[in-house]
Amino acid sequence: MHEVQVVIPADGGGEYTSWRAALLRDDATMEDAVRVLDKAGLQIVLVVNELNELLGTVTDGDVRRGLLRGLPMNVPVVTIAHQSPLVVPPQLGREAVLQLMQANKVHHLPVVDERRRVIGLHLWDNLAAPSARPNAMVIMAGGKGTRLRPHTESCPKPLLPVGDKPMLEHIIDRARAEGFKQFVLSVHYLGHMIEEYFGDGNQWGVRIDYLREPSPLGTAGALGLMQPRPDAPFVVTNGDVLTDIRYGDMLDFHLRQGAVATMAVRQHEWQHPFGVVQTHGVDIIGFEEKPVSISHVNAGIYILDPAALDVLAPNENCDMPDLFARLRSRLERTIVYPMHEQWLDVGRIDDFELAQVNSLNKQSDC
């Protein structure tokens, strides 16, 4: 088959997007789809057969729904694929493509020929600039980072360099690229160094305010100091979490679900090192050879409605799991946002060294 080399203009400025990185064969797995989503950065996977004919598409939402259903990562990708995606022919103009995307509320449009072979991909993010987000982002940056000593003896953990800039700057830059302009940094240990580095945020084209913890208040307690309270849902993230998650997508998910609090979670798999014997009394009723346990773990990123702050008091120590528990006791809706994106909690020396390696790999990919 003649290999198609067409690319679709990303915008009117003449830039181009490499859509071929989004292609995935139909004999691949959900885990393979996650790798493509993370590496290509196009937020979609195009599932094709050996003739390059489009069989379906996979987005972040499809993966997250699969994770919530408890599907293991090695299931065939066709299990979660949307098998009747909207497509367009190559001759359709840019304005018509935009109108079609708006009418159908989609962010990607595969381009196919008359035999349904993929020859390109339209991306909404490249056709329309990201809109400004009025929502605030709170970054918890007050911890002592004791497990990262001696690095943190004279430098707060969020200011430790990853690649060419502090990890806290990586977080702010990523959120800023998605339209977030209002930031609140919660500081305590060596907080003056963070304030001196970032100031009011003018250098980054954003506004930065500070919550100064008089003593450590836990992973949520500093939120009780917020004055005035936000008037819209806001993002909260730990200052040592480096991730490729799209904060705006998580915020939109929270709003669609009508929740008071949303927690990003990662799927964690643990394999039992031994065969498990199932018993009823002294009777053996079954065997399971080295079973795999799948669970969701807290990723340290949250969306909170202003009403969530009602369960906090100023200067009261509170961790995020306790905040969620208090909200549940009030019968408020608290939900999870399953994430598959690259994620690293830089809490130990090994994690810090891995963050440097990841940063170098990203630079080499650019």
Active site residues: 290
Which amino acid, 243?
Answer: T
CB 32 within 8 Å of CB 47: no
Q: Which residues contact 322 (CB under 8 A, 6 or more apart)?
A: 218, 220
CB 6 within 8 Å of CB 90: yes
CB 287 within 8 Å of CB 276: yes
- For the record, the structure tokens of 313 come out as 């008091």
The CA distance from 102 to 94, in Å, is: 12
Residue for token pair 């080295």: 290
- Pairing state of beta strands 165-166 and 161-162? antiparallel
Q: Which residue, among 7, 249, 246, has the nearest Cα to 122 in the 3D structure?
A: 7
CB 127 within 8 Å of CB 11: yes
CB 103 within 8 Å of CB 86: no
The CA distance from 359 to 40, in Å, is: 16
Q: How far is CA 94 from CA 9, 91, 98, 123, 192, in A?
A: 9, 9, 6, 11, 50
| Helix (H/G/I), strand (E/B), else coil: 96 | helix
| Helix (H/G/I), strand (E/B), else coil: 173 | helix
CB 237 within 8 Å of CB 171: yes
Element (H, E) at 193: helix 191-198
CA atoms within 13 A on the CB side of 241: 23
